Amino acid sequence: MNFDAARALQLLRIASGQPEAVFRDGQEEAIRHVVEGRGRLLVVQKTGWGKSFVYFIATKMLREADHGPALLVSPLLALMRNQIAAAERMGVRAARITSDNKGEWDEVIAAIARNDVDILLIAPERLANDRFRDEVLARIADRVTLLVIDEAHCISDWGHDFRPHYRLLERIVRSLPRNLRLLATTATANNRVMDDLKQVLGPDLNVSRGDLNRPTLALQTIRLPSQAERLAWLAEHVAALPGHGIIYTLTVRDSIQVAEWLGSRGLAVESYTGHSGDRRPALEQALLDNQVKALVATTALGMGFDKPDLAFVIHYQMPGSVVAYYQQVGRAGRALDAAHGILLSGAEETEITDYFIDSAFPSEAEVEAVLGALEAAPRGLSIPELLGSLNISNKRVKKAIDLLSLESPAPIAKQGSKWQLTVAKLGRGFWDRAARLTQLRRDEQAQMQAYVRLTGEHMAFLISALDGDPTAITGPALGPLRAEPDAALVREAIRFLRRTSLPIEPRQVWPAGGMPRYGVKGNIPELCKARAGKALCVWGDAGWGGLVRKGKYHDGVFSDDLVAACVSLLGEWNPRPFPKWVTAIPSLRHPHLVPDFARRLADALGLPFELVLAKTDARPEQKTMANSIQQARNIDGSLAALRPEIPAGPVLLVDDMVDSRWTLTVAAWLLGTHGCTTVWPLALAQTGQESDES
């Protein structure tokens, strides 16, 4: 097919909304390469270069020449929403089939059948979905004229955002007709990633690679170990910085906490995480429209989010790799003369990134346990059944299942809702790949730690790490921001951290299989259900968390400061009806620790204390139980009421730590069955096991 340069330029100007727009270096050549079918192409260009213009203009030109639709594999919903909006501006009819629009699938499938879709966007996980493969992919496979793999570094074992289901693309690519156009794009591919992509996408892969320097971006690193110091720094500088931006955090909990702190200082900010659900499009639009000063976001807001005039990107903690950091900080300054990229480094970040590295692959023992459980069940096991038979966390069981099912040949396969063994055996290559990736992530973590220690030449460091040319670095005339936080603001941040509390949501249903020793299953009766409770802090975290840990494992008693903190928490919480008495969760290991604290708290509240529950036998600590079903079974039958009659009024039920909530659930049920139907749980600390996203 011949390439019409004038039409391509016209489409660029329509899409960009700029009548005088011209192509950037390499854009027109990439579009021509795809349209003329010159072979498979990998485009490696920095964020903001306009990679989406390449595939949307190419798609539009191919469709105008009566070619079939394009299929775009894209990793994030936020990215897809931006892509669809960009496509529609130039008249490209884009549709998506994702986990969050299942109600629209039938309509999209019908539109595809009518040839009314120019480009279909999917997440890589759709490729493993039977309905998608049977009802969509099978119908259009022979008509697809272009396969686009966006954020192609996700294919790579070496890539910073490895998504297991991207491995399915390798099989699809190998089965493609040689004349099918294939375009892969990414902003972050060092030489190792490039070599890996050539193995997956073909040795004859053509590469278009541009300059990585971001001349409008002023980079700076500031080491502030404590969260209070970083919160204080943010309160001072985000308010003073011109324009709008993104503040990245490593965890959901930190995103929410930072947003609440900045909100309490009068700043218009919002938390944006994978848990934001249906609010995510509105939050993205609020930032695009400058209705918020910043979004405090996890990596859920990442690749492809396009606001060219972002004035700053600030990291609350160090990300795990240079490629991840370059990808995120590169959101800023695309259409500005100058923008800030600030990395605040804290004491907790290594523990968090260690967790991400350690949990990326299941252990050999965990995989052997999963395969052993399936071998013992010829008819197969569902995920809940696996959790019931294995003391392995829900996330790690699912991770093992995902990775095993994506092997070729796969040692397991799904039949209905159950997983079964196949005749294939797990090869040693699985573990070699896991070991290689784990070591690479350790190396990347060390590289980022070196970046944090820099006092200058930040952009040169990033470009060198990405195997680019660091010899011609230019930057904006922006001086560094003051590194020392304001002492008064630090004190305010400490008070804020000690004021915050976390919700304890009541469980509504007994675990799968029920609680046999108590003889209960199904829904928990309303009168025997705990009310929504509160946890004072996160275990070991800033604020009160360190003091809780010290009291439990060093002092053997919780301090009076924690009593006072809980009194203040009760005053702000003000549950209604207010408790008329206080009780505690019993323990055989630490028989006096929690009752002593609860008794002192009751005295401070002017309420009576009564210990009405007893531990009937010794069980392993709940923290040794790796998933909710195991935790429920560990508590089944282990608590009992000390006497048949207990006070009937509303009660404050005190424990030191809450993780699975099963101990509080059973205790509330026991109290309810003995006439106390209003139970308010209060825990000193939440372990956080159920909360964060990676």
Q: Considering the entire predicted model, what is its pTM?
A: 0.83
CATH match for 217-354+441-486 among 3.40.50.720, 3.40.50.300, 2.40.160.40, 3.30.428.10: 3.40.50.300
Closest CA to 149 of 178, 130, 127: 127
Q: Which residues pair with 43 in a beta bridge?
A: 185, 208
Question: What pLDDT was estimated at residue 77?
Answer: 64
Tell me how long the chain is: 694
Task: Compute the average pLDDT of residues 210-219.
Answer: 91
Q: Which two tokens stand for residue 213?
A: 């320097």
Give the least confident one: 125-139, 365-379, 565-579.
Answer: 125-139
Residue 523 reports pLDDT greater than 60: yes
In 10 A of CB 693, how many CB atoms?
14
Question: What pLDDT was estimated at residue 76?
Answer: 67
Question: What pLDDT was estimated at residue 512?
Answer: 86
Cα separation, 173 vs 152, whole angstroms: 13
More confident residue, 182 or 47: 182
End-to-end CA separation in angstroms for the chain: 44
pLDDT in tens, 94-105: 998 887 788 888
pLDDT in tens, 641-693: 998 889 989 999 999 999 899 999 999 999 999 999 899 999 999 985 433 33
Cα separation, 77 vs 94, whole angstroms: 14
Question: What pLDDT was estimated at residue 484?
Answer: 96
Cα separation, 77 vs 98, whole angstroms: 8
Cα separation, 534 vs 506, whole angstroms: 10
Q: Which two tokens stand for residue 238?
A: 């985000």
Residue 608: cis peptide before it, omega within 30 degrees of 0: no
Q: How high is the mean pLDDT of the chain? A: 90
Contact 404, 411 (CB under 8 A): yes
Q: Which two tokens stand for residue 486?
A: 């304001």
More confident residue, 61 or 253: 61
Q: Which two tokens stand for residue 6?
A: 């004038």
User: 5-209 has which fold?
Assistant: Rossmann fold (3.40.50)
In the three-class reduction of DSSP (H, G, I as helix; E, B as strand; rest coil), residue 38 is classed as: coil
Residue whose entry in the numeric block shows the structure tokens 């609860």 = 598
Contact 635, 670 (CB under 8 A): no
* Region for residue 303 given its phi and psi (left: phi exceeds 0; alpha: psi -120 to 50; beta: otherwise): beta
Cα separation, 386 vs 400, whole angstroms: 11
At a CB cut-off of 8 Å and minimum separation 6, what does 203 contact?
A: none
Question: What pLDDT was estimated at residue 123?
Answer: 84
Question: What pLDDT was estimated at residue 693?
Answer: 31
Highest mean pLDDT, choosing among 67-76, 235-244, 299-308, 402-411? 235-244
Q: Which two tokens stand for residue 550?
A: 């010290």
Model confidence band, residue 158 (pLDDT cutoffs 50, 70, 90): low
User: 501-686 has which fold?
Assistant: Rossmann fold (3.40.50)
β-pairing verdict for 412-415 and 418-421: antiparallel
Distance of CA 378 to the CA centre of its chain: 35
Q: Which residues pair with 148 in a beta bridge?
A: 72, 183
Residue 544 reports pLDDT greater than 60: yes
Residue 345 reports pLDDT greater than 90: yes
Cα separation, 125 vs 213, whole angstroms: 33
Please count the helices (runs of H) and the strands (runs of E) in the chain.
25, 22
- Domain 5-209 identical in fold to domain 217-354+441-486: yes
Residue whose entry in the numeric block shows the structure tokens 């191919």 = 62
List the domain boundaries for the chain: 5-209, 217-354+441-486, 365-432, 501-686
Q: How far is residue 292 from each of residues 238, 343, 474, measured CA to CA in Å?
A: 12, 21, 30
Question: What pLDDT was estimated at residue 694?
Answer: 24
Question: What pLDDT was estimated at residue 78?
Answer: 61
Contact 237, 313 (CB under 8 A): no
pLDDT in tens, 7-39: 999 999 998 888 999 999 999 999 999 999 999
Cα separation, 499 vs 544, whole angstroms: 9
Residue 580 reports pLDDT greater than 90: yes
Question: What pLDDT was estimated at residue 634?
Answer: 94
The CATH class, in words, for 365-432 is: mainly alpha
Q: How far is residue 23 from each of residues 33, 304, 393, measured CA to CA in Å?
A: 15, 19, 50
Q: How far is residue 52 from each of residues 49, 93, 263, measured CA to CA in Å?
A: 9, 14, 35
Question: What pLDDT was estimated at residue 246?
Answer: 97
Question: What pLDDT was estimated at residue 412?
Answer: 97
Residue 80 reports pLDDT greater than 90: no
Question: What pLDDT was estimated at residue 161?
Answer: 67
pLDDT in tens, 592-636: 999 999 999 999 999 999 999 999 999 998 888 989 899 999 999
Residue 303 reports pLDDT greater than 70: no
Residue 542 reports pLDDT greater than 80: no
Cα separation, 151 vs 37, whole angstroms: 21
Residue 160 reports pLDDT greater than 80: no
- The share of the chain scoring above pLDDT 70, in percent, equals 96
pLDDT in tens, 237-257: 999 999 999 999 999 989 999
Model confidence band, residue 148 (pLDDT cutoffs 50, 70, 90): very high
Q: Which two tokens stand for residue 448?
A: 């980022």
Cα separation, 475 vs 473, whole angstroms: 7
Q: Which two tokens stand for residue 320?
A: 């795990």
Residue 571 reports pLDDT greater than 90: yes
Q: How far is residue 686 from each of residues 158, 322, 481, 500, measured CA to CA in Å?
A: 35, 32, 35, 12
